Amino acid sequence: MAKSPNSDHVFINCPFDASYRPLFEAIIFAVHDLGFVPRCALEDDDGGEVRLSKIERIIEECRFGIHDLSAVTLDPVHKLPRFNMPLELGLFLGCRRFGGLPQRQKKCLILDTERFRYQKFISDIAGQDIHAHGGEPKQAVIEIRNWLAAASTRTRLPGGSAVAGRYARFRGELPALCADLHLPEHELIFADLSELIIAWLKASR
Amino acid sequence: MQHATRLAKSAGPGQMVVYTSDGRISHHAAYGFPAIKSPARRSRIGSKRIERAVANLVMDRLRSGLSASGEVSQ
């Protein structure tokens, strides 16, 4: 029997490289601040689990999904696009369609740099919830807040500007936190970042 | 604690957090904000160290705030 997805859990499908890091941190921060739990393929490094199986398991466990297609551009070295994000979006949509009754509650937000850019490379997703962040963390936070408020129908979510303001303060204080922990920022893994955000939010909202 | 809870509740969205002397959070309550959920996986740094680092930051904020208002002198 198919599992029911957790209505607090949000699958994050985005690039994990350094150039995307500001957007990644902003998305994780916003999801925590809004009272949800971000999940992604980086959450554990169990070498025994095949990566695709891990992604399938996390998708199955999440009611919500945020898919950022902004990095689907040609790699300067290999001249090939990166297909991981569209693949994982396809898995999420397939799980919703074929995963049985509990999985039909799934909802997803698709982010890109420009609102209609997808028409040039993945036009079959027309009709989904597609929003633009313009490469700006603040705009990504606002889009996520507005979408989660509508998709979850939860009341009393803070406004997008308030969440973005807190994210800017967190970013400003992160170097001091990392210095206290004797840990360079670039060595923070997903689980570290999540717990730092949670502890900071408890002390700072 | 009761007075702090009343203040946190009456000031619109607010929170109350109580730290122990070693920097751990002993009590946290949010009023008007969504509750913060536990992460799916725990950090290897350890919750204790993370909470202590945030507590140090909070103390620095308070000291600099008090210092700026002239309530703390050298």
pLDDT tens for chain A, 205 residues: list them: 567 899 999 999 999 989 999 999 999 999 999 999 999 999 977 667 788 999 999 999 999 999 999 988 888 888 888 899 999 999 999 999 999 999 999 999 999 999 999 988 899 999 888 999 999 999 999 999 999 999 998 988 999 999 999 999 999 999 999 999 999 999 999 999 999 999 999 999 8
| Residue A201 pLDDT | 96
| Residue B74 pLDDT | 35
pLDDT above 70: residue B67: no
pLDDT mean across residues, chain A: 93
Rounded to two decimals, what is the model's pTM?
Answer: 0.92
Give the ipTM of the model, two decimals please: 0.84
Residue A189 to residues A16, A22, A148, A193, B42, Cα–Cα distance (Å): 10, 14, 25, 6, 11
Nearest to A191 among B32, B37, B42 (CB): B42
Tell me which residue of A80, A88, A16 sits closest to A45, measured CA to CA. Answer: A16
Residues counted in chain A? 205
Neighbours of A183 (CB within 10 A): 17
Distance in angstroms (rounded) separating the CA atoms of residues A120 and A123: 6
Nearest to A35 among B13, B34, B57 (CB): B34
Most A-contacting residue of B19, B33, B47, B52 (CB-CB within 10 A), to test interface: B33
| Residue B69 pLDDT | 53
* Contact across the interface for B53 and A180, Cβ inside 8 Å: yes
Distance in angstroms (rounded) separating the CA atoms of residues B9 and A147: 28
DSSP state of A118: G
pLDDT above 50: residue B72: no
| Residue B73 pLDDT | 37
